[in-house]
Amino acid sequence: MTQVLRPLSALFSQDDYPQILVGIAEPDDAAVYQLDAKRALISTTDFFPPVVDDAYDFGAIAAANALSDVYAMGGRPLVAINLVAYPDDLDKSILTEILRGGAEKVKEAEAVIAGGHSITDPEPKYGLSVTGEVATSAIIRKSSAQPGDRLILTKPLGTGVITTALKRGIAGEAEVDCAVAVMSRLNRKASETARRHDVHAMTDITGFGLAGHGLEMAKLSGVDFEIAFDRLELLPGAEDFALQEVFPGGMERNREYFSQWVDAGHNLQRYAIELFYDPQTSGGLLMSVAADRADAILAELLAGGEQAFELGTVSDGAGRINFI
């Protein structure tokens, strides 16, 4: 992707656009455009094909996923635009439910849908373009993790294997319901907690899995992460499906690319390592937190209903992960 974006970086030099505080030159969860000395806009977009069977749930999950990039930057969503691809021969009532699911999730975020665009496509796809706001002094970047920090994640892992098991017809109703509840939950409370406690760095865990998004933080911060498998919280059924090798294709692509910067403990079984690369949909926020603040943040997250857990630590390094 870096090679693909290189021509754009040449066209839009940071020196020529100083109001772009976060852009393609320094990858992060969303773009940030400075309005004045105190305020900035956050801009992001995301869309994808259905990950679950229920149309309403798909809309809610896709909306929560798109909104998450604003929360990962420490911002507040303001306005969303629907992005729709839909087949001509598919019942339009399904699209109505997709849009309803997305709209109610945007309303839950106290933002508003102000328009949209649709195209005809053989495969349904849905998502949002989202504009948010953030105080320039409160932007949370991926690139500020510090040695000695502790790592906290705010949602359990395993959405990739659960949704793949659903597609194969082997996932149970309770397992799917739990995954849907996690994927459709906003990262709003987690982001607000992070802002109150001045976390050093943060990102959301999505298609690159914990490995890929963790490595982005580590590399941009110039540190190493140590993450313990026995500290990870997994969705019900995720470990069983992983043992059966029920993974989406993205897991293998993630492993092939990111494993060059990952050291995996020899005592870990194959399925455990693969869960580390499992692509997530609308995953939680990964926070790098000062050691003396971690307990307070974790307690507040749990008290607020978040499924948060501590999974590792940050050390001096050059952008690697030690998975033990």
- Whether residue 203 is predicted with pLDDT greater than 90 in this model: the reply is yes
CA distance 324 to 227: 6
pTM of the model: 0.95
Where in the chain are the domains? 2-138, 150-323
Q: How far apart are CA 283 and CA 65, in angstroms?
A: 8
| Residue 94 near residue 58, CB atoms below 8 Å | no
Q: 169: which DSSP letter?
A: T
Q: What is the CATH number of domain 150-323?
A: 3.90.650.10
Which tens digit of pLDDT belongs to each residue from 217-256?
A: 999 999 999 999 999 999 999 999 999 999 999 999 999 9
Directed axis angle between helix 159-167 and helix 173-183, to 10°? 130
Task: Select from 295, 297, 261, 291 the least CA-distant residue to 276.
Answer: 261
Pairing of strands 262-264, 321-323: parallel
CA 54, CA 179: separation in Å to the nearest integer?
13
Output the DSSP codes for 57-90. Answer: HHHHHHHHHHHHHHHHTT-EEEEEEEEEEE-TTS
- pLDDT bin (cut points 50, 70, 90) of residue 24 is confident
If 0-12 CB within 10 Å is exposed, 13-18 middle and 19+ buried, where does residue 171 land? buried
CATH architecture of 2-138: 2-Layer Sandwich (3.30)
**Assigned token pair, 200:** 């050093």
What pLDDT score was predicted for residue 227? 97
Contact 224, 151 (CB under 8 A): no
